[in-house]
Amino acid sequence: QRLSVRTLRSSRLSTTAMEACGCVITSQDERKVVERCGKFEDVLDAGFSCVLPCLCQFVKGSISTRIQMLEINAETKTKDNVFVGIKVAVQYQVNGDSQSIQDAMYKLTNPRMQIESYVLDVVRSSVPKIDLDNVFLEKEEIAASIKEMLNTTMGGFGYSILATPVTDIEPNNEVKRAMNEINKAKRLRQAAVDEGEAIKIRSIKEAEAEAARTEIQAKADAEAKFMQGQGIARQRQAIVSGLRDSVNCFKADVAGVDSKQVMDLLLVTQYFDMMKDIGGNSRSNAVFMNHSPGALQDLTQAIQGGFMSSLPAAPSFAQVQR
C-alpha cells in the first residue's frame, strides 16, 4: 500500500512537472481544459499536447468522459398516504464536444448534487398522485419522467442522461406486512371459491351418473320383465297347446267322450301329480285345506265325480246291462 501511494505521488509530480514544461498527456477517458490568463482557451483531446506556460497557458483541470452512475434514495408518500422509499439509478455522461466540456467545467460545481435534487423533485411531485398499488405498475412512467426532466435541465450543462431506472420500491414494513396479509386473504378466499366450485361440479357429475345408472337399470329391468312376460306367455301357450293335443288324442282313441270330460280327467290327474310333488318335497310338507268335515266330503265327492264321469266313455269301463 505504501508503495502504491508513493507511485501515485510520483506520477502526479511527474505529470505536474511535465505540464510546467508545457508537455501535457491526456488519457483516453478524459478531456483537459486549457486556460490562458484565467480564460478558457481550448480542450485537449486524448494523447500528447503542448501548452505554452510562457504565454500564460495552463491546464485548468480534467473531466472524465466515462459513463457514471448515481444511486438516489427518495422517500415520499403515495396518494393513499403510504410512505415509500424509491431508489433511482441515474446513468449520465459528459458530452464529448468542446462546448459541453466547457459548460460542465464552468457552470456546475457539483453535478451529482444537482442531479439528485432534480430526481427528488420529480419523484416527490409524481408519486403523490398515484396509489401504492399503481406505483409498482407505473414505475416505467416515473423513470421516463425523471429522464425527461434531467435531459432538459442537465443538457444545458453538457451532460447526457442515458437511463434512469427505478430499481427499488420499498414501502414501510408494516405496510408490506399488511399487503401480504391482504394478498394472503384474497388467495385463501379464491381457494375456497375454487374448492366450492369443485364440490358443486363433483356433486352435479355424481347426480348425473346416478341418474344415468338408474335409467340404465330401469331399462334393463323393463327389458327383463318384458322378456319374462314373453316367456310366461309362451309357457302358457305351450301348456294350452299340450292340453289341446291331449284332448284331441284322447277323443280320437276313445269314442263317445266329449272335451269337457277329457278336461275334467286331466285336471284330476294334475291334482294328484301336484299332491305327489308336495308330499315328495321336503320343503313343502304341509298343505292347508278346509278342515271342516263337510268340506272334506265335498272334496271327496268332487274328485270321485270327476273319475266316475269319465268311466262310461271308455270301453273297458262299460257298465253291464241288466
pTM of the model: 0.51
Percent of residues, the chain, with pLDDT higher than 70: 73
Indicate left, alpha or beta for 209 from its phi (over 0: left) and psi (-120 to 50: alpha): alpha
Listed in sequence order, the residues at least 6 apart from 171 whose beta carbon sits closer than 8 Å to its beta carbon are 82, 83, 84, 85, 132, 179
Evaluate whether 40 touches 86 at the Cβ level (below 8 Å): no
How many whole angstroms separate alpha carbon 44 and alpha carbon 22?
Answer: 13
Task: Provide the pLDDT confidence category of residue 311 given band limits of 50, 70 and 90.
Answer: very low
- Check residue 91 and give its pLDDT: 92
> What are the tens digits of pLDDT across the range 236-249?
777 777 777 777 77
- Check residue 308 and give its pLDDT: 54
pLDDT exceeds cutoff 60 at 54:
yes
Give the mean pLDDT of 168-191: 81
Give the phi and the psi of residue 118 in degrees, each rounded to 5.
Answer: -70, -40
Residue type, 100: S
Higher pLDDT, 224 or 53: 224
> Which cell is 273 given?
301329480
Give the mean pLDDT of 168-181: 80
